[in-house]
Amino acid sequence: MQPIALYCPDTSEPSHQSLLQTCQALDWIDIQPNQPSDQAFILIDNGQLSIASSDWPKVHAVSVDFLSSSSEHRRLYGGGAGQAVCKAVGLKKRKHLTILDATAGLARDSFVMASQGATVYMFERHPVVNLLLQNGLERLSASELTDLSARLTLLNGSLLNLGAVAETVSVDVVYLDPMFPDRSKSAKVKKDMAIFHQLVGADADADSLLAPALALANYRVVVKRPKNAPWLDDKKPSTALIGKSSRFDIYAKKALTDD
Ligand SMILES: C[S@@+](CC[C@H](N)C(=O)[O-])C[C@H]1O[C@@H](n2cnc3c(N)ncnc32)[C@H](O)[C@@H]1O
């Protein structure tokens, strides 16, 4: 991992101190006393970890915040199981699915699926994104949303190297949303998210996720793609849900029945 700078404007805040301690133990984090001029750096502010760009604070930092007002709005009024991602994984048919989100990112999709009753296990390989996810999950577990917190679990490892996970978790649906190379160049990517895309880069090995996903899922694999992108691993899905800018390719293994 390339070293990344970290900046904390208020080190006296107790919650910041414990986050700083966690980060001090990681040898790829370089804690700096002043705001770094780097394109992207880790920020500790407002009791949470985030990724900031050199334009911070003009451009918002990006964090995993399951408790933000926009997350709350999506949880309560976002369209329930009728949301495209929920329809694609089958939550409209069966509420209590066990889903492996093998490319969790900032867990926005995982959050939506768990909000609708799914038990979601997540893999995230980028160390900075993984750290943000851990921080978001810790804050969620300290909140009153205990049911939701119990349904979101970050696992160590990767779908490409499953280890014990394959024996311990029976997975109904595997969900994949790898980075697509053209996304970062799109003018539609908001400024704050552009820094996330730059930091993580393209997932050049994304095609290799489909075969292990199909081997693991009991019912289906769902792949989120930009609307006009080619199929993952050049494999035609059983069906697709097409939205305004993205598409959910569904690889069905077995029909989902109501629970
Ligand atoms: C487009 S983002 C996912 C966004 C996510 N669906 C959301 O709602 O926030 C893709 C993420 O998948 C991660 N990723 C890609 N391949 C992976 C793999 N083999 N194992 C674990 N994480 C992976 C990347 O690091 C990146 O953070």
Would you give per-residue pLDDT tens digits along the chain (259 residues)?
889 999 999 999 999 999 999 999 999 999 999 999 999 999 999 999 999 999 999 999 999 999 999 999 999 988 889 999 999 999 999 999 999 999 999 999 999 999 999 999 999 999 999 999 999 999 999 999 999 999 999 999 999 988 777 788 899 999 999 998 764 445 566 887 889 998 999 999 999 999 999 999 999 999 999 999 999 999 999 999 999 999 999 999 999 977 6
The per-residue pLDDT for 164 is: 76
CB 154 within 8 A of CB 122: yes
Residue 204 CB–ligand 1 contact under 6 Å: no
CA distance 73 to 67: 10
The per-residue pLDDT for 128 is: 97
The residue whose CB lies within 8 Å of the most ligand 1 atoms, and thus the one to mutate among 63, 100, 125, 210, is 125
Q: Please name the residue that has the structure tokens 């978001």.
A: 136
Residue type, 122: M
Closest CA to 95 of 176, 172, 155, 177: 172
Peptide bond into 230 cis (omega under 30): no
How far does the centroid of ligand 1 lie from the alpha carbon of residue 178, in Å? 5
Closest CA to 136 of 124, 199, 77: 124
The per-residue pLDDT for 72 is: 93
CB 249 within 8 A of CB 225: yes
Closest residue to atom 11 of ligand 1, CA basis: 105
Q: What φ, ψ does residue 48 adopt, rounded to 5°?
A: -140, 165
Closest residue to atom 5 of ligand 1, CA basis: 105
Closest residue to atom 27 of ligand 1, CA basis: 105
CB 133 within 8 A of CB 103: no
How many other C-beta atoms lie within 10 A of the C-beta of residue 85? 22
Token pair recorded at residue 69: 């007002």
Q: How many CA atoms lie within 13 A of 57 on its CB side?
A: 6
The per-residue pLDDT for 184 is: 45
Q: Which domains does the chain show, CATH number per domain?
A: 4-63 (3.40.1630), 69-252 (3.40.50.150)
Residue 119 CB–ligand 1 contact under 6 Å: no
- Pairing type for strands 40-45 and 48-53 reads antiparallel
The per-residue pLDDT for 193 is: 86
pTM above 0.90, yes or no: yes
CA distance 188 to 139: 30
